[in-house]
């Protein structure tokens, strides 16, 4: 395990800082989509070690005993009521996509993460507290700026993946989550072997085998002559590996691609029939235009890993990572924290009441939520198209 310390020039002691923690964490998931796990693999490879994993959909239940730095990246839209960080967690909010779509949650109710974000001040405060937020795509950046949360366009951490020089290229064309009729069309255009893979796993797969499957897929992508995919987190790792790739963009949650699809040869899935034999036999490799984005991501994570923590790990003391914490910062963050607790208590009291299932209280709750006066809210399940 790597040992990280504050600078040896004494500046750490003068600032009341202590040695950096050795504890780092990445996200884990309850979904069947290996694209999620690939994003955590990218985060893990930028850290000196990983001691823990935090459930993306229940971040507020991740309460490590020791101060822990968490890379918080990926798709957010399933369970906004679980978004928040314990006092011992310092997150890096980077490469985040916040879904504007209305999706079914674990309890079957429909909620838009973006709309909840607009309507619930404590949730916005939690993002501001650890900002600026790295937006994975342009629409997420615009959303955050619209609601007053400082952000920057980071792109996706999967662009930082590095090719294993020991993996040799093969002749096969790898096709990931492409409709059967398109697979048949591609096979008719080439004499090369066509290998079909998927990012969808069996239900109930534990985290460890899911990460192993994701690692195996990354090796397949590195060895491919060409990859054809509808999955964003197949296409972007292939860009990082220098593997020729054709991204067939599905017409679902297309906002996820804004700012990223230009990095890879992209066309609508409905245009797959325009691919010729020449496209498959002599594909163009990625042009490396992602390199500035990749380098900026690596630098941001390196700064996060090496930045000293304040002597106290109370959330209020981590208001602005990398900036000296003032009494004003502490007062402001504690006010946000106290307000969040008040909203949460009010919601829980109403949810526990016997009248919860009656129509009138439910209408009142919905009106309260729309005014942003509650912190706890209902959520929805992530769709399977996030790749």
pLDDT in tens, the chain (387 residues): 332 222 223 333 333 334 445 699 999 998 899 999 999 999 999 999 999 999 999 999 999 999 999 999 999 988 888 899 999 999 999 999 998 887 766 667 778 888 888 888 988 999 999 999 999 999 999 999 999 999 999 999 999 999 999 999 999 999 999 999 999 999 999 999 999 999 999 988 899 999 999 999 999 999 999 999 999 999 999 999 999 999 999 987 788 888 888 899 999 999 999 999 999 999 999 988 999 999 999 999 999 999 876 433 333 333 333 333 344 434 444 444 455 455 455 545 545 555 434 445 554 555 555 554 333 333 333 444 466
Q: How many CA atoms are closer than 13 Å to the CA of 219, on its beta-carbon side?
A: 8
Select from 254, 236, 253 the least CA-distant residue to 245: 236
* Main-chain dihedrals φ then ψ at residue 215, nearest 5 degrees: -60, -40
pTM value is 0.75
Place of tokens 């709309």: 115
| Euclidean distance between CA atoms 246 and 368, whole angstroms | 46
**pLDDT of amino acid 23:** 92
- Mutual orientation of helices 121-129 and 327-352 as an angle, nearest 10°? 140
pLDDT given for residue 332 in this prediction: 43
In the chain, what are the domain boundaries? 11-158+295-370, 164-287
Tokens standing for 134? 């790295």
Enter the CATH code of domain 164-287: 3.40.50.2000
Note the pLDDT of residue 337: 47
Residue appearing with tokens 């697979």: 183
Residues 222 and 204: their CA atoms lie apart, in Å, by 28
CB 144 within 8 A of CB 151: yes
């Amino acid at each position: 395990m790597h040992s990280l310390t504050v600078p040896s020039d004494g500046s750490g002691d003068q600032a009341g800082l202590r040695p950096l923690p050795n504890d780092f964490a990445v996200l884990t998931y309850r979904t069947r989509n290996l694209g999620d796990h690939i994003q955590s693999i990218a985060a893990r490879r930028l850290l000196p070690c990983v001691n823990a994993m935090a459930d993306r959909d229940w971040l507020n239940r991740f309460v490590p005993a020791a101060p822990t730095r968490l890379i918080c990246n990926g798709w957010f839209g399933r369970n906004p009521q679980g978004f928040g960080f314990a006092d011992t967690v310092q997150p890096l909010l980077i490469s985040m996509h916040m879904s504007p779509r209305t999706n079914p949650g674990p309890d079957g109710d429909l909620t838009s993460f973006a709309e909840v974000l607009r309507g619930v001040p404590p949730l916005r405060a939690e993002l501001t507290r650890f900002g600026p937020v790295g937006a994975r795509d342009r629409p997420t950046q615009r959303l955050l700026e619209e609601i007053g949360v400082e952000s920057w366009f980071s792109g996706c951490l999967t662009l930082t993946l590095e090719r294993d020089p020991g993996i040799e290229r093969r002749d096969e064309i790898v096709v990931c989550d492409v409709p059967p009729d398109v697979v048949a069309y591609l096979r008719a255009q080439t004499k090369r072997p066509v290998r079909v893979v998927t990012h969808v796993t069996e239900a109930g797969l534990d985290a460890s085998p899911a990460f192993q499957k994701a690692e195996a897929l990354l090796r397949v992508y590195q060895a491919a002559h060409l990859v054809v995919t509808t999955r964003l987190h197949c296409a972007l790792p292939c860009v990082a590996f220098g593997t020729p790739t054709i991204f067939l963009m599905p017409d679902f949650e297309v906002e996820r691609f804004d700012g990223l699809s230009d990095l890879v040869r992209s066309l609508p899935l409905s245009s797959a029939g325009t691919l010729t034999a020449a496209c498959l036999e002599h594909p163009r490799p990625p042009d490396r235009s992602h390199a500035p984005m990749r380098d900026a991501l690596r630098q941001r994570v390196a700064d996060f890993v090496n930045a000293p923590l304040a002597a106290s790990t109370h959330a209020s003391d981590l208001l602005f990572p990398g900036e000296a914490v003032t009494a004003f910062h502490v007062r402001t963050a504690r006010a946000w924290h106290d307000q969040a607790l008040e909203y949460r208590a009010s919601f829980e009291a109403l949810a526990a009441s016997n009248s919860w299932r009656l129509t009138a209280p439910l209408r009142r709750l919905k009106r309260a939520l729309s005014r942003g006066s509650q912190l706890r809210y209902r959520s929805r399940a992530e769709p399977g198209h996030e790749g």
